[in-house]
Amino acid sequence: MTQSATGPSPSPQPARAVSSAPSTFHQIGVNFLETAAMVGGMGVLAAEIVKRLVRFRVDWDELKRNMYRMGVKSIAIVIFTALFTGAIMVLQAAPLVERFGAYGLIGWGAGFGTLREVAPLLTALMINGRVGANNTAELGTMVVTEQIDALRVLAIDPVSFLIAPRCVAMVSTLFLATIFADALALLGAALTSDVLLGVAPAVFFNGLTSGLLGLGDVMNGLVKSVVFGVVMALASCQYGLTVTGGAPGVGRAVNATVVASAAGIFILDYFVSFTLE
């Protein structure tokens, strides 16, 4: 009866819907913290590796096995990449060479871009896709199957036995592969110049060594190869050692390694080029 005297009570206000999806700023913050943690982990890992190298606490047999696996088995992909890189450089320059009749400069033009930039960069990206991803997959699998913990139980230092040899092998492999790629890229450029422009290989290499291209240009590319190798080694090892979530986590770590290493290579390429100019 009281309800009829005072009228129906007002219906309760609907509760405000609370979205469970994270906001954009929240996701940006999470990504920033994850990136900072990964970069910090790579710095700590680098310090641990340097400490072992200074004390010669490295498994040399493991180093030789990794150099063979990473270097010798990457020769085929380096050959194809380098030969076609040199050919493409000449193919792009051919219209301008024919327009201005600068046939004597084709060797310098192709060599300048190839030795300083293109050959080190493309070689690093190709080896990163093969060696870096494979390294992360192996280490990640060892983590999820507790093989790394088993090494520690047996009083075997994982950094000395697994990580340091892989990092040294990766840096050495990329350095030597870049020298090999430089030579093959120039060979491909010389052959393409002969076929497309009628420039004899002797004229091509004379333009390459006539004084416009110096030892500093070659060293510029080789310094970049060492920097790229360090980035690839640290990123692949750090992502492999921090795998969580079983087999799906290994797949995510491999994908993250390829993306992070490629991004790091391009970023450091800019700063190294700016510093060495």
Instruction: Name the DSSP letter for residue 42.
Output: H
Instruction: Give the amino acid at 226.
Output: V
Note the pLDDT of residue 38: 87
What element of type H or E holds 82? Answer: helix 75-100
- Each residue's pLDDT tens digit, 3-35: 444 445 555 555 555 556 668 888 888 888 888
**Would you tell me how many other CB atoms lie within 10 Å of the CB of residue 151?**
16
Q: 20, 28 in Cβ contact below 8 A? A: no
Note the pLDDT of residue 2: 42
Note the pLDDT of residue 187: 92
Note the pLDDT of residue 1: 41
Domain boundaries, the chain: 44-276
d(CA 110, CA 186): 8
Class of residue 164 by CB neighbours under 10 A (exposed 0-12, middle 13-18, buried 19+): buried
Q: What is the CA radius of gyration of the chain?
A: 27
pLDDT at 53 over 80: yes
Distances (CA, A) of 73 to 63, 69, 85, 96, 165: 15, 6, 20, 38, 17
Please state the pTM of the whole predicted model: 0.84
Q: 118, 185 in Cβ contact below 8 A? A: yes
- Each residue's pLDDT tens digit, 160-169: 999 999 999 9
Q: Which residues contact 276 (CB under 8 A, 6 or more apart)?
A: 220, 223
